[in-house]
């Protein structure tokens, strides 16, 4: 068995794998996370290793203390990766982006692949058919765009995400929804077109909490299953404890 932990800004997600099958998983509030991790490690003596992604930078010592004799791997650019990393500022490359690229190269080997992760931010990560990570882009996600319109103007209200029927907003509220939604959609379509023109045939993977807001008919895209990130982390764990 293997334990995969994703420490996000608001929730901690865990996945307990037996082989490639998830046998237990949950999303937890930070205050409940370590009690649950301790319970998992106590009740499952066959865990061979633990890997984690952390946005806070404060988790390592706590996990090492809990895990005791179990190998603990923190995802960063210095661990063994299943791709060549050409990112110039390697130390700043986010653990979630590393894990998503790892998942992509395992699921779609020897293909030009663009991973688009729609969360608080929208990240774009491209790996070539030569198995080389070229980098990508970071832009504001849906909620961040709504918040920016409210924060940096005097009168625009703060709205919740809504998918408009068409781009023609006939009120201020409808215009905000149109601007945010179709701005994101047009950005994604434009980014896909760029990589297709630059590199040729392209596999596009959409993932993240807001991926379901995009139309399922979006051309040439694959909507990743909910465990896509976790499977990338699992592969990184095996790669680093078995090598």
If 0-12 CB within 10 Å is exposed, 13-18 middle and 19+ buried, where does residue 61 land?
Answer: exposed
228: its two tokens:
């896509």
Report the distance separating Cα 174 and Cα 184, nearest Å.
Answer: 15
- What pLDDT was estimated at residue 20? 86
Plot region of 110 (φ>0 → left; ψ -120 to 50 → alpha; else → beta): left
Q: Looking at residue 66, what DSSP letter applies?
A: H
Return the closest-CA partner of residue 119 out of 161, 152, 77, 91.
161
Active site residues: 96
- Domain chopping of the chain, boundaries: 2-74, 84-231
Q: Looking at residue 155, what DSSP letter applies?
A: S
pLDDT over 90 (residue 105): yes
- What pLDDT was estimated at residue 222? 87
**3-class secondary structure, 193:** helix
Determine the angle formed by the axes of helices 172-199 and 142-151, rounding to 10 degrees. Answer: 130
Return the closest-CA partner of residue 142 out of 213, 64, 47, 75.
213
Q: Categorize the per-residue pLDDT at 81 as very low, low, confident or very high, splitting at 50, 70 and 90.
A: very high
Q: What is the mean pLDDT of residues 31-35?
A: 86
pLDDT over 70 (residue 1): yes
Do 2-74 and 84-231 come out as alike in CATH topology? yes
Q: Categorize the per-residue pLDDT at 224 as very low, low, confident or very high, splitting at 50, 70 and 90.
A: confident
Asked if residue 138 lies in contact with residue 126, where contact means CB atoms within 8 angstroms, the answer is no
122-147 tens-digit pLDDT: 999 999 999 999 999 999 999 999 99
CATH tag for 84-231 (out of 3.60.110.10, 3.40.50.1980, 3.30.420.40, 2.40.160.40): 3.30.420.40
Report the distance separating Cα 66 and Cα 42, nearest Å.
Answer: 9
Q: Which CATH superfamily is domain 2-74 in?
A: ATPase, nucleotide binding domain (3.30.420.40)
Average predicted confidence (pLDDT) for the chain = 91
Asked if residue 199 lies in contact with residue 147, where contact means CB atoms within 8 angstroms, the answer is no
**3-class secondary structure, 148:** helix
Task: Count CB-CB contacts under 10 A for residue 161.
Answer: 15
Asked if residue 115 lies in contact with residue 138, where contact means CB atoms within 8 angstroms, the answer is no
């Amino acid at each position: 068995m293997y334990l995969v932990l994703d420490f996000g800004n608001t929730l901690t997600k865990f996945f307990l794998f037996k082989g490639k099958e998830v046998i237990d998983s949950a999303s937890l509030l930070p205050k409940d996370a370590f009690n649950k991790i301790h319970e998992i490690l106590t009740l499952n003596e066959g865990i061979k290793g633990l890997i984690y992604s952390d946005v806070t930078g404060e988790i390592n010592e706590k996990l090492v203390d809990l895990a005791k004799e179990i190998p603990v791997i923190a995802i960063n650019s210095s661990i063994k990766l299943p791709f060549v990393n050409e990112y110039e500022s390697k130390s700043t490359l986010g653990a979630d982006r590393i894990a998503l690229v790892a998942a992509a190269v395992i699921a779609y080997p020897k293909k030009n692949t663009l991973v688009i992760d729609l969360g608080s931010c929208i990240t774009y990560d491209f790996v070539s058919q030569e198995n080389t990570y070229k980098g990508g882009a970071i832009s504001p996600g849906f909620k961040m765009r709504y918040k920016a319109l409210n924060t940096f103007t005097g009168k625009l209200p703060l709205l919740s995400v809504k998918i408009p029927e068409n781009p023609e907003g006939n009120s201020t509220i409808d215009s905000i929804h149109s601007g945010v939604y179709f701005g994101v959609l047009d950005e994604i379509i434009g980014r896909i077109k760029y990589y297709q023109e630059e590199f040729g045939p392209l596999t596009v993977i959409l993932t993240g909490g807001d991926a379901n807001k995009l139309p399922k008919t979006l051309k040439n895209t694959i909507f990743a299953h909910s465990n896509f990130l976790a499977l990338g982390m699992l592969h990184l764990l095996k790669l680093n404890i078995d090598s």
